[in-house]
Amino acid sequence: MAKNKFNKNWVHDHINDPYVKLAQKEGYRARAAYKLKEIDEAEKLVRPGQVIVDLGCTPGSWSQYLRNKLAGKEGGGINGTIIGLDILPMEPIADVHFIQGDFREQAVLEQLEALVGERQVDLVLSDMAPNLSGVAIADAARVEEIIELAIDFAKAHMKPSGALLVKCFNGTGYNEILAKFRQEFKVVSSKKPKASRDKSSEIFLLGKILKNPA
């Protein structure tokens, strides 16, 4: 009974959520687009000509936002390169290169490196989150593992002056993740955009300028 009530409450909140309504109106696949939009508008992360990698991109609202931001090239297309990666499939988005697979696997990494070519990545975004079990310690370890993978990826492929934005959760393990960011980046800040639900412990960490690029 309690579960049904919870589901009904969630559906009610979701249907009446202003960001859900805005996403439907503006053609975004998910309300998550507005989290990135708010952070980008404050931090000026996305600029023309950049190479941007969107880890965990499905269903694609972050890639849609990036595409809209880089659009406007004469003759159509975008001024920049967007590469999305996810284990799950994603409906195509114009001008976005999508690779389906696990970027921990060599074959997937090679596809990504082929798209990047000789260039270095300017911005790495990760909206990835593991399937949570509800066991705080186990979930914290999974979140930490995903974020460490994103950091390792950034160190290997990002230009030293670049930026990494990851999703994490303010709870068990958060201080360890924050410490890791401070170890790897010269400028670190945490972001809780208005589009993140109040009840959610979701928080985003932004690291700028690598201390020890690979």
The helix (H) or strand (E) run that includes residue 94 is none
Annotated catalytic residue 167: yes
Strands (E), 43-87: 51-55, 81-86
SS3 label, residue 122: strand
Q: What is the DSSP-derived secondary structure letter of residue 105?
A: S
Burial status of residue 213 (CB atoms within 10 A of its CB: 0-12, 13-18, 19 or more): middle
Cα separations (Å) of 28 from 19, 67, 144, 145, 174? 10, 11, 29, 29, 30
Residue in the block written with tokens 């995903």: 146
Q: Which of 69, 167, 208, 211 is catalytic?
A: 167
Binding-site residue numbers are 60, 62, 86, 102, 127
What is the CB-side half-sphere exposure of residue 56 using CA atoms within 13 A? 16
| Six token digits for residue 174 | 């958060």
| Six token digits for residue 4 | 């049904």
Q: What is the DSSP-derived secondary structure letter of residue 20?
A: H
Q: Strand 185-191 and strand 202-210: pairing?
A: antiparallel
Binding-site residue numbers for S-adenosyl-L-methionine are 60, 62, 86, 102, 127
Q: What is the DSSP-derived secondary structure letter of residue 120?
A: P
Active site residues: 167
